[in-house]
Amino acid sequence: MKEITKITYREALKQGVREALQNDERVFLMGEDVGRYGGAFAVSKGLLQEFGEDKIMDVPLSESGFVGAGIGAAVAGMKPIVEVMTVNFGLLAMDQIVNNAATLLHMSGGQMNVPVVIRMGCGIGRQLAAQHSHSWEPLFAHIPGLIVLSAGTHEDARHMLAKALKSPDPVIVFEYTSMLNIEKEIPVNITRVDISKAKVRKVGKDISIITYGIGVYKCMDAANELASIGIDTEVVDLRILRPLDEETILASVSKTHKALIVEDAWKSVSISSEISARIMEKIFYELDAPVLRLAGVEVPIPYPLHLEDASVPQKNDIINAVKKMLNHD
């Protein structure tokens, strides 16, 4: 029976972490303030009391240091979940991630896997200004050796970690801080969600809207509004930003013949530019209109709310872009 429960994105993440800790004794959580404080975003609140200090580890304020420690633990046979408060601070650990996590398998001639999972808060929406608000997914998706996941829905927030922990290679999981308090319904007693492919969140025939992360709910809202005026959109949630699930993307666009790509990250050299290029390379003769992209404006994310809103695509921008592509008045 499919039972439904209403939970916040935060609670979904927490259930995923708790389940991972219960299922495998090699799993532990480490990060700034994850223990006594309960996590900067309260995702791990109560887990210290439940699992103890060996499993829930507060670390010093040094991203390079503790991400490196996590990588070392992974190499030594553990299954660390490293929480980096936001991806903006993850930049400090970039050397560890790129030069160690992503590279060791290659450098060791295939002898050394690095099964570390690094969770990072990501995206804007809480007026935290430029240094705390950026969308760095494309930067990480650029690096061979990493697997990059993006939890754009509550269901994925709940189940993505289990998938990540199964990987023998380093996985970056992006979680979206602006969604933490949002409540949605998800099925209760489903224990596994297949996260090996992109997911068509809404089937449609007129145009493919391809997105990920924060874009998923925005595009779904836009799709529902467009449906009311007779435009039947298909919404594809990428979920895996590296390696890209090309098959699902190309199948969708081959069906609708039109593609709109939506993301919060800056437009140049982004996930959307990569997808646009692949569509052009692989299925040029299926296109009935130029691919269109809606992406972040190329400025540091501003602090004032109205400017912050204006700096990334919103529901109405998506609706207008679709109407424009379909010549709908």
Binding mask 222-261 for another protein (x = CB under 8 A): -----------------------------------x----
Q: Smaller CB distance to another protein: residue 188 or 310?
A: 310
Q: Can you read off the two tokens belonging to residue 252?
A: 């969708």
Q: Of 80, 83, 71, 70, which Cα lies nearest the Cα of 26? A: 80
As measured in angstroms, the least distance from the Cβ of 142 to another protein is 24
On whether the CB atoms of residues 287 and 256 are closer than 8 A, the answer is: no
Side-chain half-sphere CA neighbours of 23 within 13 A: 13
Q: Label residue 36 exposed, middle or buried (CB < 10 Å: 0-12, 13-18, 19+).
A: exposed
As measured in angstroms, the least distance from the Cβ of 263 to another protein is 12
Q: Label residue 61 exposed, middle or buried (CB < 10 Å: 0-12, 13-18, 19+).
A: exposed
The yes or no reply on residue 3 touching another protein (CB under 8 A) is: no
As measured in angstroms, the least distance from the Cβ of 287 to another protein is 5
Distances from the Cα of 18 to the Cα of 37, 58, 219, angstroms = 17, 16, 30
As measured in angstroms, the least distance from the Cβ of 245 to another protein is 23
Residue 63 catalytic? Answer: yes
Spot the catalytic one: 3, 32, 53, 63: 63
304-323 residues in contact with another protein (CB under 8 A) are 306-307, 310-314, 317, 320-321
Binding mask 175-214 for another protein (x = CB under 8 A): ------------------------------x---------
- Indicate the pairing of strand 292-296 with strand 233-237: unpaired
On whether the CB atoms of residues 269 and 217 are closer than 8 A, the answer is: no
Residue 159 catalytic? Answer: no
CA 230 – CA 215 distance, rounded (Å): 22
How does DSSP classify residue 155?
H
The yes or no reply on residue 303 touching another protein (CB under 8 A) is: no
The yes or no reply on residue 294 touching another protein (CB under 8 A) is: yes
Among the candidate windows 37-45, 56-64, 78-86, 282-290, which touches another protein by CB under 8 A?
282-290
Spot the catalytic one: 19, 32, 53, 132: 132
Q: Residues with catalytic annotation?
A: 63, 132
Interface residues toward another protein, by CB under 8 A? 205, 257, 284-290, 294, 297, 306-307, 310-314, 317, 320-321, 324-325, 327, 329
